Amino acid sequence: MTASPAPHSVDLSNCDREPIQFLGHVQPYGCLLAVSTDWAVQHASANTGAMLGLETEPVGTQLGELFPGQVVHDLRGRVQMLGHGSGAARIYGLDLMGDGRAFDVSVHMSQDLYVFEFEPKEQSAARDEMALVQPLIARVRRRPEIDAMAREAARAVRAMTGFDRVMIYQFQRDDSGRVIAEAAAPGLTPFLGLRFPASDIPSQARALYVRNPIRLIRDVDAEPQPIEPALTGAGQPLDLSMSVTRAVSPIHLEYLRNMNVAASMSVSILRDGELWGLIACHHGAPHAVDYEKRSAVELFTQLLSYEIAAVENAAERASVARARVLHGTLLSRMTDGAAIADNFGTIAQEIGEVIPFDGMAIWINDRFHAVGATPTEEEFTGLQRHLARRQARQVHSNDRLVDEYPPAAAFAERAAGMLALPIGRGLRDYIVLFRREQIQDVTWAGDPAKPAQPGPNGLRLTPRKSFEAWTETVRQQSAPWTDSEIAAAEILRITLLEVVLKIADDSIAERKRAQERQELLIAELNHRVRNILNLVRSLVSQSRAEANSVAEYGRVLDGRIDALARAHDQLTTAQKDGASLRALIETEIDAFVADRATRLRIEGADVALSTEAFSTLALVVHELVTNAAKYGALRDGHGRVEVRLRREADGTLGIEWRERGGAPLRASQGSGRGFGTTVIERSVPFELGGEAELRFALTGVEARFRIPARFVSDAAPRGKEQEAEDLAGGAADAPRLSGRALIVEDNMIIAMDASDILTELGCEAVETASGVGAALRLIEAQQFDIALLDVNLGHETSVPVAEVLRARGVPFLLATGYGATEDIAAAYPPAPTIKKPFTKRSMRQGFSKLLAESAA
């Protein structure tokens, strides 16, 4: 029978809603006991007493009251072997009742119950079923192609089990299945090559095939045995997903009867945890395959899965290798800066050697080029808009384009399937490979578009009664794109994206100049980093002499390094003309006093300092403020600091520093003539060629500086809102922290330092993680109250950790060494940011802001 494409909107979709794992019955060839963790029997199948020869009702009794002590010991041992998601533990040939009768036993976990299933062993002779597996899989391994391997596997399983028919059934992309191999008894109608619609195996059945890989239906007409009581303590039927004797859906039984099948067995073929196919076994009469033999078949199928994966992986690797060779070829071809359109024909030819196609089109920079069988430019324009709306940034394949994009019906003869490769920065540029319509006759095992009819199971679709070959002529469909072709296309997409980005440069000369600029910047960065390291080394060495204790040394050194950090932080956020001197002074004062508005007065117009002058004055101002806080005007609550800024006619900047109202600072106090005083008196003359004078007056410390005009420019005026914000910056002290803290930082020393700071600030426990994976495991295992996340973790960012913390309501700070934070903040859930190197002060202020925002 031949038909044109039929609508598939009517099928056995009601099967998808059938709760096949909650049928509440078992097949009568075995019996079931469900036992609680205290070994009390909670459920039993109705045939348990008769099958095991029990004299008492099992439900409500202890397992030890039903079986001999050694048997209970063996069963407990098997339970001990169970792990999460480990499936079932098995015992073969167990003398269950101590009377010589042998049983095969399976045990698995279902919710919080141990489920034991017992099958009488019908063959008592000693045998080793597992010994057959290795020689049989060796025969499969000698076959180099999938179809040949499948044929050998079908023969092997039929020899092991004695079924009339064994088929290897491979799932297609649309979830239908095709019989690729068959071993059958003489006289049976062959099913080889037939397609079975996706509705024959509903979605929940496919999910169970992944979890529980082997399924025996011994007799389709056997009376199922109910599980008593029917419901658990939670009011639900017992979940039999992992059961080996689980009863069968009435719809599936009807389906098998319509095929004249009296017994069946299915074994899952998995690849990468997904259902690749099935070994489907059919028999015309009831057929027993004991548990030990089924386990051998299951092991054989697992090894078959590995062999299939090895063959397919080898094909994919070969395709990817060809794509990588093409990657280098295309990159070298395009280095002369020629337009991609000029090489389009050559590119198409070389891609075709890796991925066969009938036509190729490109849309780049709003220009269209095509070769071979493709849509016209007008037709492609609509398709390009459709692709842009999908916002796909990876390869997208479709062998029946009309289903996704109905206007494709107009050009299906030329281009029925596509493989689209986005190759631009945006979502508009694509290279698309096309394949022509491949009219094919698909032979189904019966009509896949069977009309809906009421049947014996109610007003729903019933399984078809005819499995005679039914041929459907399929149009508007191309040859499918294989997994290896799609993997190769993804490599080519990256290659072509690189090509497009290269061509976007104006010329080879411009690229060379850009490279030279980059090398110059790297050299300058290296120079500046080395200068900073030398400066830090000097601070470490010189600060040692003026400290009376390790703690004092740590505070002095930390303050000086923090001053440098704050200075550089202001430089990175300042305008290109320089950084504000006023802001520098205010920032330093904020570090030591909470009421800056009454303790600091700055007269004169603000100025902007160049990079060299700003870093120098950062240390000078820090030493002045530190001495004032320790010994001078800022030591108590009465003194104040007055700063006067004055521009002279030649542009030179004059700075006057006066302390009033506090104790006068003598040269012998504080830093004396140590490193701090040296910084104040000598830095400006030495570094900037200016002048500096420091005087210890009775009214307080006075200092005067002259900064050459080349380091000074006018500062942009600050608004009142900015001034108010600056005043509020250090006014509130942070509350003491508490609870558990998480630090995500890939530098061990920095992580240890941050941990010490958080402990000093009050956290009871601090955990550290160097990467995203470790952090997520800690979050899963523990409850945290706050967190500090480094933005850049080397090869990854902490965005996934931030998202999980945000979902759990855990407030966190972001720590970064980058200057600007707008782009960084945009990638994360809303969170305050602190700059590296962070200190106890900056951490305290950051968490103060964080907790205030969280409480708001």
Give CA–CA dist 166/268, Å, rounded.
13
Q: Where is average pLDDT lowest: 123-132, 189-198, 716-725?
A: 716-725
pLDDT bucket at 670, cuts 50 / 70 / 90: very low
Q: If pLDDT is split at 50, 70 and 90, which confidence band does 794 have?
A: confident
Question: Are residues 477 and 416 in contact, defined by beta-carbon separation less than 8 angstroms?
Answer: yes
Q: What is the pLDDT of residues 4-48, one digit of tens each?
A: 333 333 344 455 555 665 678 999 999 999 999 899 999 999 999
Other beta carbons less than 10 A from residue 605's beta carbon: 12
Residue 43 CB contacts under 8 Å (≥ 6 apart), including other chains = 32, 33, 34, 59, 113, 227, 228, 229, 232, 238
**Tens-digit pLDDT profile for residues 492-547:** 887 777 666 555 544 445 556 656 656 655 654 554 455 455 556 555 655 565 56
pLDDT value of residue 11? 43
When pLDDT is cut at 50, 70 and 90, the band that residue 726 belongs to is very low
CB 21 within 8 Å of CB 236: no
Which among 43-57, 165-179, 661-675, 838-852 has the top mean pLDDT?
A: 43-57
Give the residue among 403, 402, 397, 423 at the shortest CA–CA distance from 414: 402
CB atoms within 10 A of CB 19: 11
Q: DSSP assignment of 526-548, as one string?
A: HHHHHHHHHHHHHHHHHHHHT-S
Phi, psi (rounded to 5 degrees) for 791: -65, -50
Quick one: pLDDT at residue 43?
95
Pick the more confident residue, 5 or 844. 844
Q: How many CA atoms lie within 13 A of 739 on its CB side?
A: 13
Mean pLDDT, the chain, whole residue set = 79
Hey, what's the torsion of the CAs at 147, 148, 151, 152, to 10 degrees? -140
β-pairing, 214-217 with 263-271? antiparallel
**Model pLDDT, residue 163:** 95
For the entire predicted model, the pTM comes to: 0.52
How far apart CA 181 and CA 156 sit, in angstroms, is 12
